[in-house]
Amino acid sequence: MPTINVQLFEGRTPEQKRAFVKAITEATCATLDATPESVDIILHEIKKEHWATAGRLWSEE
């Protein structure tokens, strides 16, 4: 059973998330020969003030 954890900034609409998990599920099934029912996707929404790159918080961009 593939379990895919995705970290992304918060703020996406339910429609965007729905389209994203559908596309990831389809790609996973096609490449790993898995069934859709075996694919779990966990979305971790992160606030920009909790994420930094190159020593800078994304909330400061």
- Which residues are known to be catalytic? 2
The 8-class DSSP code of residue 10 comes to: S
Going by DSSP bridges, is the β-strand pair 40-46/3-9 parallel, antiparallel, or unpaired? parallel
How many of the other CB atoms lie within 10 Å of CB of 24? 15
Amino acid in the structure at residue 12: R
